[in-house]
Structure 1
Amino acid sequence: MKKSPAEVFTTVINEVDYLIKSLGEQTDDKEVLKQQNYAKEKLAGVHNELQESLNHLAKNAEWDVFTIAFYGETNAGKSTLIETLRILLSEPYKKEERKMFDNVYQTIGRSEESIGLVKNDFNQVYASFKKKVEQLREKIETEVSHQTELTGKAELEKCKVDDLQTLIIKKRRSNLWNFIKGLFNLLDEQKVIIDAHEAINQFEIELTITNQEIDKTQQKIEQTNAELQEKNEVFYSEISILEEILANQNNEIMKYIDGKIVGDGRSDYTQEVSQYKFKYKNQNFAILDLPGIEGREEIVIDEINNAVERAHAVFYISGKAAPPQNGDEESEGTVDKIKRHLSQHTEVYFIYNKRVKNPKQFRKPLIGEDEKSALKEVDDVLNKVLSEQYEGHKVLSAYPALLSVGNFWEDRVCKNQRKFLDQLGSAEDILADSGVKDFSNWLRTSLVEESKSKIIKSNYRKISVAIEHTQENISEIQREFTSLKNKLRLNEKYTNRKLDEESELFVQNLENEAITIIRKFKNSFRKKMYDEIDKEIDNDEFKIIFEKEKNFAIEEVRQQMRIGMRDILKEFEKEIKEIVMKNERYTTELLQSFDDSIQFDFEFEPILNIKNSGSVAGTVLSLVSGVGGVILSFTNPIGWVVIVLSVVGMLISVGKNVLGFFNHGYRASQQRNATNENIEEMATELSTSIRENIKKTHDPLMREIDKVKGDLSFAIKYINEMNRVFKEAERKLKSLSWEIEQEGMGKLNGNN
């Protein structure tokens, strides 16, 4: 009688449990017993992981959702393709998001229209005021011209009067008769002068009236400008409110643009798995967006593993029409990762996502003969790696497809969208030529057909592969054990070098901080004294002020030294702790071996009798406390006295000269020279004393660093031979794998 899926999982778990307990032979040899216990503990870890995996499968054996994982290289366009499919397949959240985009888009249109109307109204008001001001200015120009004309006429009459006065004087002197006529203003010239004075008076009256008119017109211009300014302020206030509303709407619409899940070119942009659910003709299915496998895989490995375990089919996405590469002894290749991640799956497809970033690259047909040949090589490689699980390749170009259907707003992608549409024609043609439309139709029909049987097939396949992986990797345990010591030694050397480098950098930072503070001391002290000197103080006042400012400046140096060196010490503590943490993390990774090994996909935690690094934290604290005590001892008020004594005792001298008594400029020059000389001497003394105190940190620093190194130096134990136990486990697991395979075949043939 065939077992149900849940019974199969229980059977496998029980078989592995019994297998581990039954390993080994009876012996009185304590060393052999220790080896056997190590092997059992090792396989207990395998059992725990396998049990966890099987429990996960058992829990989801009744899944109704066929799940597809989008797996592949970093920046291969997985998220771009998924985003396009979300739009084409009307994923519920995306559908609602696009609806919100349309709503905000309409409000933006109304806001822009309102702003345009307000600006148009203002432009009309502005034009009216401008015309009025221009008319007033023209009036002023006319009145100024009249003013100039009147002034000219008046001047001419005045000149005429002057000339006549001269002529009258000559006539009166010429004969007695003219003299007598002149007494009674009977000369012809005198009559003309009277008329001229009347003309001048008339011109001045008209000139006064004209000036008054100019003033009135100028006041009207100023009043008009004031009215315009008032309206301008009202306008800008209204525009500011509307533009703020528009800016908020622009920010709001950015929440609903398409493509937010798409990376920006940075490695490891996607670090968590995202799931998107779909429904087509009562068939539920889901798409998983996985992190890239070519980036810093250590930060996303768990996300990738968990997602791959959930999926029933996998699309391996690549931006290159080239076979994945093999690794070497130092690094795992893409082929190795594919085998490790995808060998448990029943359906794996290679998706060539052709990179097209500008319209000139978008051709029809999408790929050429060279790429077709390369894809045949891809098929050959993946057939060898995945065998019957590999279903073949598909070709598309996701970026143009996303541009053809996406909603974007005033960004780089929006500009590209316009460029593609302008140069390539309709969005429908771009979508069709990209291959994504056909891919979408195939996915929601052919791929998800008979999804329940595919889920069952996938679950059984995962059980079988999990056991096969355990069986295959047991033979590699010895190699990992023997390489563990070398890795620990390399880690120890690296950590010791980093500790030494950080110690040297710490001392250098202390010295640099002292140099910076002394420079600030000189500049600040000098500026204060120069300011006092500019007040024309005499030499006695100069000395008093110098002494006062000197004490203040020295105390300021102490405070800055205390703060600065405390910050440097904190940074040093942080860096040392980071080095220690990295060492502990890496050591833990090495000791857990297979847990982080690029060769295996099952848990392995070697149980070795080695020294634990739990005391390192206390040693680091002792290091920081010891070195910090030395540093802070000469920056506290008591310790600082020793340094200050050498500076406080310095005499302030200012050259005396009779000229300096009378000449402030000369005296000020002497005082500045004295300021510079005394400050330089003080700075030299301070620098020397501080450097000597910094040197005192070296010996306690190195002693404490050596203690940290000692705590981090784990006793490296060689790994004992356990091949016999592992071979026995391998044989039993092989038999169990075969039984599971036969059970799965029975399910596929309908023998439930």
Structure 2
Amino acid sequence: MTAREFIENSIQEFEKILEDFEERSGVILKRVASKTKRTKRKYIDKEDKIYKKIEKRIKDFYHNLSLLGKEMEFDTLNVAFFGETNVGKSTLIEALTKGDGSTIGDGRKDFTKTFRAKNFGRKIFLLDMPGIEGNEAIVSEEIKRAAKKSHIIFIVIPENKEPEEGFLEKVRTYIGDSTFVFGIINLRGIFPLNVLEKKKKNIEIVKKRTEQKLKGEFGKAFKEIFIVHGLYAFFAMNSGIPESQKSSYERVMKFVKNDREKLKEFSGINKVIETIGTYKTFSNNVILWSNIYKLFKKEKELIISVREERTQLKKTIEDFLKEIEKLKRKFDSQSESLLSDINSEVFFRLDELRDELEELICNAIDAGRDKDDLNSEIEEKIDLCIEEMEENIEYYLDDFIEDVNKDIEKLIKKLKLKFKRINLGTDIGIDVDFTEAFNSLSLSFKEAALGALSILESIVSILTGPIGAVIAGIFGLLNTFLSWLFGGNSKKNEAKRKAINEVNKTIRNIRNKLRRKVNGELKKLRREINKVEREILKIEKQIENKVEYWDILISLLVEHYISLSTNFFKTITQSVEFAYVAPDSGKNKEPVAIIVGGDIEKIGYFCNNIGIKVYFKDSIESALKTLKSKDKKLYSEIRSLVEKECF
């Protein structure tokens, strides 16, 4: 199988993920349908909308992979030269290809709208890229297109300054998926060879610093850096010198007494030629690895993105439930506090009413007051007691409901923001719309809060009935009291005692009834709180179903990734049983392969040539142990798939 066929087949296999996702997601939809009953149709429609969004993301990623496959180069080994305008890229390429020097100039010609490809021998092309600097936006897409076709990258840097972070980051955006990156410090100026030798020694400091920067930016993809004098190399390797360069050429040739080989050696170009030549000897492997590496990178990034989104969603769920539980506890505490305030208010007013009635009746007995006149004053005191009680209880209830509503609004705003943030900056994202669920939750809390209002109604009804009975009883006694009015102090005192006992008995009965009623209302309030919990469980279940979609997708992506890794090494030796490739593992961003089975010698030769650190294992279990130390994030998913015998 050719490299082109392998890449095309691998991309086509990714398309099957959509079919598998549809099949496995169908199980969730059926389960949801069996549980939703009357809301089944609506619920499935909502879930189907979510499914469609994930489906679109998979299709978009497949489309991007297909475009990437079409932009890859399989028939020739392409070596691209990146750098700022006037850094000497064209001069180096003219030297390497023994060109006529027509593209060597002052840099203005270098800024073209497309890259130039020059033949470096059989099936090898050197790509002269447009200059990378602040105004290359007009050719940005052209640079990206050329970078995707490139297998080896040379970054050309001037001798007088180290590459700036911004420049390297920009280069990284263009060649981010490249596997073989080299640096060239290009010397400029005309001077004798002894001066050139000194310059090379002095430039070693810049070289070391530049090496560190390139390693930091490109990791193990960065291989080496060379110090080269591009113009000297051009003079050494070309017999046809353009008229514009003849004066400089003659001066330089005097330095070496017309010895081209000596000039070539001093120019440093031989190391560049040797490097390209080395990769030429196994160019098929370089082309295959360079292209497949791009697929590994894209798929690994996708898996990481989806997994991070799933983790973020699960974390949001945990935060969500904690916030709800916190509000429920607060609501519970507020309810207890409300009922305690109401109890205190009611019992205080009842005690106050009792004392006032006792005093009023005793004074009436002493003064021999008129029955109708006393009746009117007693009713006034009872009405005033109820009015003050209602006023204070309404204050407690209003304050309670206002606090609950504020807490609910604050919570809903906070939770909506959390769920909205899940969709930001991710490759696989779906809108988590819980508006309806949040509204139900809000309604449940408010119903529970409003339920407390019935306490006031209960208190009023309990008070008015028994108090009326008190009045009747008291006036029944007053008839006797009046008959005793002229019976002396002993009879008056006995009348007072009986009246006080009657008032105390009635107030005591009212207190007991109110206590039972308030406790009953507390139970109702707690039942409303339980409704809130049921709404929470509904929301939690919806979220769990959504997380399952992520779990399915991650499982399918990891399956495909392992299949891609294994099939890749099967192109080298068919007996490979299992393989996992990490395109940039650990701090050094080093390509790593963990392999079970296969021809160790063949695989070792291939990996050594293209710079993959390989671990040969005698079983998948042993491979998993190594994988755990290299890629903890994917280890659990891969182990789960192995346990399900997916490989």
Report the TM-score, using the length of structure 2 for normalisation.
Answer: 0.43
Relative contact order (alpha carbons < 8 A, sep ≥ 6): 1 or 2 greater?
1
